[in-house]
Amino acid sequence: MRQNPRFAKRMKDVKESLESNPIQILTSPSDKCPFHKCDGTGWIWIKDWSKRNTNEKDEWQEECECYEQLMKQKEIERKLDLAQVPPIFKDATVNSFDIKRYKKKESRDTAEIARKAATNYVYNFKTMEEHGKGLYLFSEVKGSGKTRLISSVANALVKMYGVDLAFLKADDLLTQIKKTYNDNANTSEDEIVKLFRNVEVLVIDDIAVEKPNEFSERIFFKVLDYRMEHRKVTLFTGNKTIDNLGEVYIEGRVHSRIKKMALEVYMPEESIRDDEAEIENKELEKMLFG
């Protein structure tokens, strides 16, 4: 120490500094934290040097200002995972719904109206929820963007309002319930129906099933009747208009409830699925042959 007075002075300054202010922040701030206080984990490590040689705890963690925001984001991600929105549309947003993908002007005009309706629905969701009103996206053509746009609405409702949401294909629901009739089934029809009755927001994709029968009508009636009576929001897509759903569910009970529960929005009668696949393939082909 005598041979290096500058080092001795630095050590003395450190000691005096710790005596006057023994609390030290050990966490290195990161741009991942919006307040630039933690390393993005939501926690700050703190050390009290005055307790170093005592039996008291000298290191601990405290919540950063960003912790609550971080937890909300994780809850949103958890809800999106549980919602089972098709993985291809997990990040889809209403604003990114590209109407330019449609080749026909009539289709682009229809898509613009549909996108505007979807946007307004999201921003007015609380009013729609009070009335138990959902959306019904319709077009006869498969691949017209119905599932993508309804997924975008579903994503927005989770992110903006934190709703609990379930997304299912109509045929998948029927298949799952049929499995409960096996002797070794772990769940019952009533348990599955109860789950989709009670969820805060339910999305039913392709409600106009290909081969309707008394079974499918009975199941959807059990789910939708309860949701209608309790004003629970349900979003639908279908390749028949609501009025024409009577051709599928001939008893009329399903069609009449959907008419009460949802506002009908027309989608373009033009498929963009093949075009999207072609664009995607061209990009990947550049990697192979470019």
Beta strands 233-238 and 134-138: pairing type? parallel
Phi, psi angles (nearest 5°) of residue 199: -60, 145
* Whole-angstrom distance, CA of residue 261 vs CA of residue 282: 42
pLDDT band at 263 (very low <50, low <70, confident <90, very high): very high
pLDDT band at 268 (very low <50, low <70, confident <90, very high): very high
pLDDT band at 237 (very low <50, low <70, confident <90, very high): very high
Expressed in angstroms, the distance from the first to the final Cα of the chain is 66
pLDDT, tens digit, 9 for 90 and up, residues 150-208: 999 999 998 899 888 888 888 888 888 888 888 777 778 888 888 888 889 999 999 98
Query: Is the model's pLDDT at 1 over the cut of 80?
Result: no
pLDDT band at 211 (very low <50, low <70, confident <90, very high): low
**130-139, 165-174, 226-235: which has the minimum mean pLDDT?**
165-174
The better pLDDT of the pair 39, 58 is held by 39
The better pLDDT of the pair 239, 290 is held by 239
* Whole-angstrom distance, CA of residue 51 vs CA of residue 56: 6
Query: Is the model's pLDDT at 73 over the cut of 70?
Result: no
* Whole-angstrom distance, CA of residue 252 vs CA of residue 271: 30
The better pLDDT of the pair 247, 54 is held by 247
Query: Is the model's pLDDT at 246 over the cut of 90?
Result: no
Average pLDDT rounded to a whole number, residues 1-28? 64
pLDDT at 5: 65
DSSP state of 93: -
pLDDT at 195: 82
**31-35, 79-83, 198-202: which has the minimum mean pLDDT?**
79-83
